[in-house]
Amino acid sequence: MKAKNALYAQSGGVTSVINATACAVIESARKSKNIKKVYAGKDGIVGILNEDLIDTSVENAKEIKKLMHTPGGTFGSCRHKLKDARQNKREYERLIEVFKAHDIGYFFYNGGGDSQDTSNKIAQYTKEAGFPVTCIGIPKTIDNDLPFTDNCPGFGSVAKYIATSTKEAALDVKSMSKSSTKVFIFEVMGRHAGWLAASSALAQSKDSSAPHIILLPEVPFDENKFLKKVKDSVNKEGYCVIVVSEGAKYKNGKFLADAGTVDSFGHKQLGGVAPQVAGIINKKLGYKYHWAVSDYLQRSARHISSQVDLDQAYAVGKAAVEFATSGENSIMPVIVRKKSKPYSWEIGKVELSKVANVEKKMPKNFISKDGFGITQSCKNYLRPLIQGEAKVPFEEGVIQTASLKHKLVKKKLKKFKV
């Protein structure tokens, strides 16, 4: 089989460990006889359509290894949904042109559900067009909502950040609650699945019941029931810590924080559920409050990443190259849990057609009866994923990160408007 070039790209919201996956793809491809060079799409699929391809072969091995402790998406990401070929054939034709012009035989797309859908569509189209390209989707999403994989690379580190931040903030609020703040609201990401908010419960211990309330997208928000829970917590413990998912919604399906706009994927733009909840509490109960939104901080906090998460992020990238060069196509590497105690896992695979556009939400047996917390079964699932401290090198007191050349390949095609 004639060696071909590989093309890797990052998509959607990035994570503190997605570059570990990039590192794995590049390092593994450099060892393969079937792959010549690895190009990276600048800013995801958008860069590929624009023929903005980064030549990773000019980067030395030491800088590539530094990607293991570099957060963000080193090659740039995007939110661009590739529509069905019947709706937007020109983009697919353009991809074929780019693939042909740069001798691309392997395509690795690192992202969440929409990205897996994109990988699947490209695999199908290139086959039908007579220029088959091996397409492997590589899982990544802090939302932990991809099906078939036990968990998603990127999630464990955010879960660790949230659990730790919840515990630290709870101690702060508790110390001030006698004469000052009674309620603290912590907003975390999670549009339709409450995995991230649920992870805050790992902060609970025999010495602390905080967070006292977790608002999940899977449980409709009942204002009266919620306010009673807040009041009971303040009366009993003197304070109340609330962790709320950005996707918390009313019974009619409307988000508490619906901003009235949508993003490029067609998802509702959500903004500020924490102040919304704080306003309800202040108006009805009059308690002094503080709120915080973790936003980008939770997914970029490489200084507190989980070692398990880092290991898994590298493993799926390595497996993607191994699957591709052994003849697999249109699949996604998945994490298979073998045991929870002691925790052990391995890499498996699933067809992309089964993954695309399927969202994994929290099962009912993971949610407490009152809907404001999680069960022991959920904690047993979550806890192994935050284990281990993935240490990072610091330079002059600040995290040290990779510094890549990002040299673009010379363009061979006419300009294209995305």
The residues annotated as belonging to the active site are: 143
| Angle in degrees, 0-180, between the axes of helices 307-325 and 18-31, rounded to the nearest 10 | 40
Residue type, 173: V
342 cis-preceded (ω within 30 degrees of 0): yes
Question: Rounded CA gap, 290 and 304, in Å?
Answer: 24
DSSP state, residue 367: B
Structure tokens at 273: 């559920």
Is 240:212 a contact under the CB 8 Å cutoff?
yes
Phi then psi for residue 139, to 5 deg, are -70, 140
Is 363:147 a contact under the CB 8 Å cutoff?
no
Question: Rounded CA gap, 41 and 31, in Å?
Answer: 21
Question: Rounded CA gap, 114 and 171, in Å?
Answer: 39
Question: Rounded CA gap, 255 and 39, in Å?
Answer: 40
> What sign for the dihedral angle of Cα 408, 41, 107, 17?
positive
Q: Which residues have a Cβ under 8 Å from the Cβ of 346 and sit 6 or more positions away?
A: 335, 336, 338
Q: Could you give the 3-state DSSP secondary structure of residue 415?
A: coil
Question: Rounded CA gap, 340 and 235, in Å?
Answer: 37
Question: Rounded CA gap, 79 and 123, in Å?
Answer: 20
E-assigned strands of 87-236?
Answer: 104-111, 134-139, 183-188, 213-215
